[in-house]
Chains A and B, each alone.
Chain A
């Protein structure tokens, strides 16, 4: 009885925490909403000195860097997962998997420094750019960081497909290609989807590594899909400006609103993940 009570109290407390976080963020950014209405959310200019807190440039930057990361990491991660789950001998498989798990454990600032010293000069020389600090750099770095999540979880999902199904396919004379496309991937799809959504969350919230390579300029790329230009993300803005903003000022409120936007996006993604898990 006591145990049950303790379990439910803990569960309640932990689920309350997220409400507390969202509530705190909303309360702290309220002065800004009160003073400027909601128009600043779609504003394109961010100049704290002039009380302009347009959220659009950093929002677009976040969406772009995450999209790029997914476009790169998703095909690579799933391909690696298929290879590991279906084709590699067990010993090699565990080596690859171990390497992926190690990759997941490397602190993000290390990826950031790697990006600064290796990726940026490479981009500059290969693409002949004015500066390597671009959305593409952020996307590539994020892709590297979310690759392990996608690969490991997708592999689990593929391996979870029952062996009897593979054998049945074989007995029916269906080739490996067709088995993969028609049997394995459709059944593993919910798992891959969850992996993708989790990875999206990680990419969205990543701060230090992105801050070091994205250029940190609050400007929407021209044209807006030009990912070879420097930009800003919500996290890198918070990382750069939080320390200087005096507590309780409008600037402070605006930075916390960036946090609220990120938290809301993360909650939305979690809800999506949750729905899909329930559906399985």
Chain B
């Protein structure tokens, strides 16, 4: 009986042993804007390095920064520059590496776009988010109230949008109707509404969620690849990963892969502009 028990135990150990040795895990979390890039890269990287296990989860830029600070993930993702206080806390321990350039699109529902609202100036967008313009009629659109979608305060997309449009990354948006979290959630709300406006990473646009040109009249700029690369589109940002300086070689290897030529191709395939 005892021998039987012992052999089961030994079998268990011998099975678990090598499995445990193989599974070096790299944990990545943060911005849902950066996520598609890292997730796609991880898929390929797993093929090259089957011995590694990569987990990629969202949460928002704030979560990426906070979790790197707490030391519970290996790579953080942030779709905005770090704030001054974050730089103070992290710059001795962590590298901030840009992997792509992105535009924050001012996205509207298809119906709104097709009825004529195809360009908005920065003051107009600001007026919408401050609650001074409440109906699409005032902007040449249909006679319908505006569903103004704001984002959770910790989201990188909001930081970038608010700093360009409202003049301050942490500005209030008293005109907001509801608050959403991830790009996914916001995309779903805009596409299911006929009167919504929101801020969305350029890579999340689709047929039902259209970007308007941003700027005055003739000079309104669409967030196209060229305009993002040349820097002419106003609401833009670098997509960053945060890597602790004392990372393991496994982590370094993956970061190098992200910055390699292959990594750049992934960035482009996902819909962003690679960083030179």
CA distance in complex: A49, B139 (Å):
31
Contacts of B177 in A (CB 8 A): 130-131, 215, 217, 230
- B179's closest neighbor in chain A, by CB? A216
Complex CA distance for A121 and B188, rounded to whole angstroms: 12
- The one of B63, B145, B150, B192 in contact with A121, judged by C-beta atoms closer than 8 angstroms, is B192
- Judge if B69 is at the interface, Cβ distance under 8 Å: yes
Given known contacts A47-B172, A131-B193, A244 and B66 CB-to-CB distance under 8 angstroms? yes
Tell me which of A120, A244, A246 contacts B60 (CB under 8 A). Answer: A244
A131 to B181, CA, bound (A): 16
Q: Are B59 and A243 in contact (CB under 8 A)?
A: yes
One digit per residue, 1 when the CB lies within 8 angstroms of any chain B CB and 0 when it does not, for chain A 221-251 equals 0000000001000000000110111110000
Over the window 47-73 of chain A, the binary record of Cβ atoms lying under 8 Å from chain B Cβ atoms (1 yes, 0 no) is 111100000000000000000000000
Closest-CB distance, B215 to chain A (whole angstroms):
27
Which chain A residue shows the least CB distance to B178? Answer: A215
Contacts A/B (CB < 8 Å), 13 sampled:
A47-B172, A50-B170, A116-B188, A130-B195, A131-B178, A215-B179, A216-B180, A241-B153, A243-B66, A244-B153, A246-B66, A246-B70, A247-B70
Kindly supply a per-residue 1/0 record for chain A positions 134-145, scoring 1 wherever the CB is within 8 Å of any chain B CB and 0 otherwise: 000000000000
Complex interface: chain B residues within 8 A of A124 (CB):
193
Identify B176's interface contact among A217, A241, A245, CB under 8 A: A217
Residues on B facing A (Cβ under 8 Å):
59-60, 62-63, 66, 69-70, 145, 147, 150, 152-154, 170, 172, 176-181, 188-189, 192-193, 195
Cβ-closest 10 pairs across A and B: A244-B154, A244-B62, A215-B178, A49-B170, A216-B179, A230-B178, A243-B63, A217-B179, A133-B178, A130-B147
* In contact, B170 and A240 (Cβ under 8 angstroms): no
Q: Is the CB of B178 within 8 A of A240?
A: no
Cα–Cα distance between A233 and B73 once the two chains are bound (Å): 30
Which one of A49, A230, A240, A246 contacts B152 once the chains associate, using CB atoms below 8 Å?
Answer: A240
